[in-house]
Each structure stands twice: as structure tokens, then as C-alpha cells.
């Protein structure tokens, strides 16, 4: 199965060189201070055929100049180089000097930086980097190109080796790295409403020694920012061998309808961030950055996979390319881990409000009566069961979202639920254990129906599943209920459900022609598995 290339969003870190002493810093100061630039420069250059607009300025550091520094100021400057490229690509650098016995510009107290303990009493340069939509390795290639363009604009020569050697692999550090894919709204809604975020948080609920937090921000729009923050111990429970805490986030514009539906930002980003805040304030060595990237990418793709979202970027209709995310297959697939959370459906109070084993005989009797009789009044159920109406109301409440209660009339929220329970009640093999197992599943399903696409809601209400092949293409429609093709049958009509499926598929923005050719599988009243193309079942679709 192919997987998408995951795109860098933002990273932040610090490179260190002692190779040329303070040479790169002093050279830039010599051309930027005084005329003609007087500390500020804008120019446009090309890097590998792409235009980049550069802005060079200074900020005041906290360092006192050395006596031999040729500067008429009480504090040394730091140089900020900001490059803006195609789309939303950006590469920002802050260049600062390093030397022995650095002093505070105002108090003259010695500043304790790691530099001297790392490199000894030598000069050097420290470059803080912060690219957006650019790999940090690519930003490292941009730095000498930007430098050369600045000196060319000044009409000055520059040492050709500046920043073309790798920074120190251990002393250079990175403290934030985020990567993303962009997926269609309906798939993001599946992730957010009742998917992997809830599964993971409940999987970790009864585990000692972990910290996990689910943060929901729906103030402006549903699914604006849904964040799952995991500490290193939580991550280790999900991915054996992973060591970095991280944040998984679904991000949608606060007002996505303000942009055209054809614009990529109409659809949300799905991102994973690792930073030092989530890792006991510890950054990681530049040499270890690929390990962090691997853990980020494994998390992102496994979370999607655990929620049955197709990974194949070609033809699946899941991924939305933008200026930087290309939605193309990767050459090096990441490892896909077994989903550690399937026990959630059986154990989580959030998904399963209770079980018939726990709620007792009356709710079970109510569920049976409504299944066999259809929509009935509370008074009628109470009379038939010999119970007080208040007892029936309590039983309905215990059954949670399985039933609808309106104006004293009680019915199943979806035909799917009624058909399943009625089939069990009428079955010769009916027993409390199988009945309780089934109603657990249905109650979990009812709790999961959210405001999603029409086709997704239809799938949830009917306990149906759209299966995909290895390339991410729809393969078959499986309906987990008893259907009949006979008009006189008391079971739900296979033809009617096929028509509904095509209609919901079309109203979710999909082409129904190919969908109509998919096989639809269901159980017959005799217990056999039946299969026919959806379009052949649906009359006049």
C-alpha cells in the first residue's frame, strides 16, 4: 500500500560553527553597518530557479562588545535574515557572535552560555533557524545562498566556504519540528468526531504513569483545533521504541467558508509536532533530527490508518495538495503498527454507556418491545410490561442514544438498530450474552453519529462499511444487517438501502457511476451472505 509524502510545516533550532571564528558575523556587520544600507537591506534573488525575497535587519543583543570590536555601541548587534519564497515558504535566520568571556552589556557580568563548555575558548557563530514549509536541511542550503546574494548586492567578496560545512552535529540543537498532510473535510470530521483521538485517550485512561490531554477548540467552527498531547510515556504505550512526546492536531481555518471550496485551505491540515516543552524542556541534537522526523511520520500515518482512512494518496480522494503538500506517494513507507485500541469499543464508558448485563431486565425488555412493535408510546410499553411509566422512562434513559423519545413516543434512532435487535429476539439462538454483545455495539454506534457527510452518517446509522483496496480505491460495500430482496418480507429492503447509499454518496460530492458498480454484501434472512452490484439493486438510480 502506498503512503503520502509528509510535508514539513515548521521547525526551530540552532546551528553552531567554530570553523571560521567570528568571520561570517564580522563580515556581515562590515557591509551592513553604515552606508549604503545603514543596517537594513531588501533584495530579490534566485535559488535553484526560484525567486526569494530577502530582508536583512539587525536587533540588539544582550552582549557587550569586546574592546577590539569596531562598533560605536554599548551592545553588539545580531543579524536577522528573513527569506520569503514561493507559496508560503519562509526561511528565517538570526546570526549571533560567540567568543570567550562574553559579558552582559549593562551589568558587565559574565554570561553563562554553553559555548565555552562545548567548544572551549574559541570564537564562532551561532545561527538560530526557523523555516516554514521548508525542510531544515534545505534551509541550511539556503543560508550560504542568501549570504552570497547579500554580499553580491554590496559589491563585496565573501569567503566561499561560509556555512557550506555541516554545523556541529551534537552541539547544534533542534527544539521544535512539525509536519503535516492535508485531507478533505469529511475525512477530518471522521478523525475528530468519534475517531482515533477519542480511541487513544480512552486507551490510556487506566494506565499508570502516563500524561495525555485532549483539547477541543470549536469556538469559531467545529474542528477548528482538535489537539491530542501525549507525553513520552504515553507515546511509548502506542509505539514501542518511540521516545519523544508529541502533539497530534487537526487544524481548520476559523472561517473555512470564507475561501473557495476549490482552495486547499478549505480543507484541514493534520499535523504532528514534537517540541522541547513536551519533552521535559529537552532539545535534541542536530544529528538526531531524522529520528524525530521518523517518529512524527509514523505517528501521523498510523493514526490515520487506525481510523481506517486510506493512506494511498493517488485515487483515494482523501488528500488535498497545496503549495507545499503534493499528495504524492513516498518511496520509503513508514512502519504501520497494529492498532492498540480495539478494546475501546468494549471497555470505554464514553463509547458504551453501559451493557445489558449491568442495566438489568427492564431496559432489556424495553429494547425488545420497541424492536418488535416499532414506535410505541411509553404508556403502552408500561402496560404491556406491567411497569409504572416512570420506570420505563428510566429504562429509556439508561439505553442512551439507542432510542428516540418524543412526545411520549419511543422508537429506535435508526432502522439499523431496530432490525438488529428484532433479528436477535426472533432468532432460535437468542440468549442474553449474544444480545448484550450486540446492543453494546449498537449503543457505541449510536453515540458516534455526528454531524458529518451524508454518506458517512448513512454508513454509521446502518452499521455499514466501505472497504478499500491496496491502492485506496473503494472495493466493496458491506452492510452488517439482515436484508431481503422480497417486497413481502418483514426485513429491510436491500433495494431501498442500495438506493439510499447511491443518493448519500452523490450528495457527499462523489461520482456515483463507479460506486454503482461496487458489490454490496449483506446477510439474507436464511443466514447466507448475498452480493450484488449496488447499481443493479437500486432501481432507477
Determine what percent of the chain is predicted with pLDDT higher than 90.
55
509 vs 196: which has the higher pLDDT: 196
The residue written with cell numbers 486507551 in the block is: 203
Q: pLDDT band for position 428 (50/70/90)?
A: very low
Report pTM.
Answer: 0.66
| Cell matching residue 469 | 483496496
What letter does residue 280 receive in the DSSP assignment? Answer: T
471 vs 272: which has the higher pLDDT: 272
Q: pLDDT band for position 238 (50/70/90)?
A: very high
What letter does residue 143 receive in the DSSP assignment? Answer: H
Q: Per-residue pLDDT averaged across 181-196, rounded? A: 86
Q: Is the pLDDT of residue 124 over 70?
A: yes
User: Is 79 in contact with 29 (CB distance < 8 Å)?
Assistant: yes
Task: Give the angle 475-476-478 at the CA atoms, nearest 5°.
Answer: 150
Q: Is the pLDDT of residue 119 over 80?
A: yes
Q: Using alpha carbons, list the distances in angstroms from residue 471 to 467, 512, 535.
A: 11, 19, 23
Structure confidence at residue 282 (pLDDT): 96
Q: Is the pLDDT of residue 352 over 70?
A: no
Structure confidence at residue 353 (pLDDT): 33
What letter does residue 99 receive in the DSSP assignment? Answer: -
Task: Give the angle 321-324-328 at the CA atoms, nearest 5°.
Answer: 50
Nearest to 91 by CA among 172, 149, 11: 11
* Beta carbons within 10 angstroms of residue 62's beta carbon: 15
Residue 489, Cβ density class (10 Å: 0-12 exposed, 13-18 middle, ≥19 buried): middle
283 vs 189: which has the higher pLDDT: 283
- Long-range contacts, stretch 111-119, CB < 8 angstroms, 24+ apart: 111/62, 111/63, 114/171, 115/16, 118/16, 118/168, 118/171, 119/16, 119/18, 119/168, 119/171
Strand partners, 177: 11, 274
Q: pLDDT band for position 222 (50/70/90)?
A: confident
User: Rounded to whole angstroms, how far apart are CA atoms 397 and 400?
Assistant: 5
H or E element in which residue 497 lies: helix 494-507
Q: pLDDT band for position 360 (50/70/90)?
A: low
149 vs 405: which has the higher pLDDT: 149
User: Rounded to whole angstroms, how far apart are CA atoms 312 and 350?
Assistant: 31
Nearest to 195 by CA among 344, 318, 335: 344
Nearest to 161 by CA among 303, 370, 14, 19: 19
Cis peptide before 36 (omega within 30 of 0): yes
Give the least confident one: 117-126, 180-189, 294-303, 353-362. Answer: 353-362
Q: Is the pLDDT of residue 228 over 70?
A: yes
Cβ neighbours of residue 424 closer than 8 Å, sequence gap 6 or more: 430, 434, 435, 438
User: Is 230 in contact with 212 (CB distance < 8 Å)?
Assistant: yes
Q: What is the pLDDT of residues 26-54, one digit of tens each?
A: 999 999 998 999 999 999 999 999 999 99
Q: Using alpha carbons, list the distances in angstroms from residue 448 to 107, 197, 381, 413.
A: 62, 13, 27, 12
Amino acid at each position: 500500500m502506498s503512503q503520502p509524502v509528509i510535508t514539513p510545516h515548521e521547525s526551530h533550532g540552532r546551528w553552531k560553527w567554530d570553523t571560521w571564528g567570528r568571520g561570517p558575523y564580522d563580515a556581515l556587520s562590515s557591509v551592513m553597518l553604515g552606508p549604503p544600507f545603514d543596517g537594513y537591506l531588501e533584495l530579490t534573488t534566485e535559488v535553484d530557479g526560484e525567486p526569494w525575497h530577502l530582508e536583512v535587519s539587525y536587533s540588539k543583543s544582550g552582549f557587550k562588545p569586546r574592546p577590539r570590536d569596531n562598533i560605536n555601541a554599548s551592545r553588539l548587534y545580531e543579524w536577522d535574515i528573513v527569506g520569503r519564497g514561493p507559496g508560503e515558504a519562509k526561511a528565517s535566520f538570526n546570526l549571533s557572535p560567540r567568543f570567550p568571556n562574553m559579558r552582559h552589556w549593562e551589568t558587565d557580568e559574565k554570561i553563562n552560555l554553553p559555548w565555552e563548555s562545548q567548544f572551549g575558548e574559541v570564537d564562532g557563530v551561532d545561527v538560530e533557524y526557523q523555516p516554514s514549509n521548508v525542510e531544515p536541511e534545505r534551509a541550511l542550503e539556503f543560508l550560504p545562498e542568501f549570504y552570497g546574494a547579500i554580499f553580491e548586492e554590496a559589491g563585496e567578496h565573501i569567503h566561499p566556504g561560509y556555512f557550506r560545512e555541516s554545523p556541529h552535529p551534537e552541539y547544534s540543537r533542534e527544539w521544535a519540528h512539525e509536519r503535516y498532510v492535508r485531507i478533505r473535510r469529511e475525512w477530518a470530521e471522521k478523525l475528530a468526531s468519534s475517531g482515533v483521538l477519542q480511541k487513544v485517550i480512552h486507551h490510556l485512561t487506566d494506565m499508570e504513569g502516563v500524561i495525555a490531554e485532549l483539547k477541543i477548540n470549536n469556538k469559531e467552527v467545529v474542528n477548528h483545533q482538535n489537539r491530542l498531547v501525549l507525553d513520552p510515556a504515553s507515546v511509548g504505550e502506542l509505539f514501542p521504541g518511540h521516545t519523544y512526546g508529541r502533539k497530534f492536531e487537526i487544524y481548520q481555518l476559523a472561517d473555512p467558508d470564507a475561501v473557495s471550496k476549490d482552495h486547499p485551505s478549505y480543507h484541514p491540515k493534520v499535523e504532528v509536532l514534537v517540541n522541547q516543552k513536551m519533552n521535559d524542556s529537552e532539545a535534541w541534537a542536530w544529528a538526531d533530527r531524522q529520528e524525530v522526523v521518523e517518529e512524527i511520520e509514523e505517528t501521523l500515518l498510523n493514526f490515520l490508518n487506525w481510523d481506517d482512512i486510506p493512506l494511498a494518496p493517488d485515487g483515494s480522494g482523501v488528500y488535498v495538495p497545496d503549495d507545499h503538500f503534493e499528495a504524492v506517494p513516498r518511496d520509503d513507507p513508514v512502519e504501520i503498527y497494529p492498532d492498540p485500541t480495539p478494546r475501546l469499543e468494549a471497555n470505554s464508558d464514553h463509547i458504551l454507556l453501559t451493557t445489558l448485563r449491568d442495566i438489568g431486565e427492564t431496559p432489556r425488555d424495553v429494547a425488545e418491545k420497541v424492536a418488535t412493535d416499532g414506535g410505541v408510546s411509553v404508556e403502552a410499553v408500561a402496560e404491556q410490561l406491567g411497569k409504572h411509566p416512570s420506570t420505563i422512562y428510566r429504562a429509556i434513559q439508561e439505553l442512551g442514544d439507542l432510542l428516540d423519545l418524543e412526545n411520549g413516543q419511543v422508537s429506535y434512532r435508526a432502522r439499523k438498530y431496530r432490525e438488529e435487535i428484532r433479528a436477535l429476539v426472533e432468532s432460535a439462538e437468542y440468549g442474553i450474552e449474544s444480545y448484550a454483545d450486540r446492543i453494546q455495539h449498537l449503543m457505541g454506534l449510536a453515540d458516534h453519529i455526528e454531524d458529518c457527510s451524508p454518506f458517512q452518517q448513512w454508513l454509521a446509522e446502518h452499521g455499514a462499511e466501505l472497504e478499500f483496496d491496496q491502492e485506496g480505491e473503494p472495493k466493496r460495500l458491506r452492510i452488517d444487517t439482515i436484508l431481503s430482496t422480497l417486497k413481502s418480507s418483514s426485513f429491510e429492503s436491500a433495494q431501498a438501502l442500495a438506493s439510499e447509499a447511491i443518493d448519500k454518496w452523490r450528495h457527499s460530492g462523489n461520482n456515483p457511476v463507479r460506486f454503482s458498480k461496487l458489490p454490496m454484501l449483506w446477510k439474507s434472512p436464511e443466514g447466507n451472505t448475498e452480493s450484488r452490484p449496488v447499481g443493479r439493486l437500486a432501481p432507477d438510480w
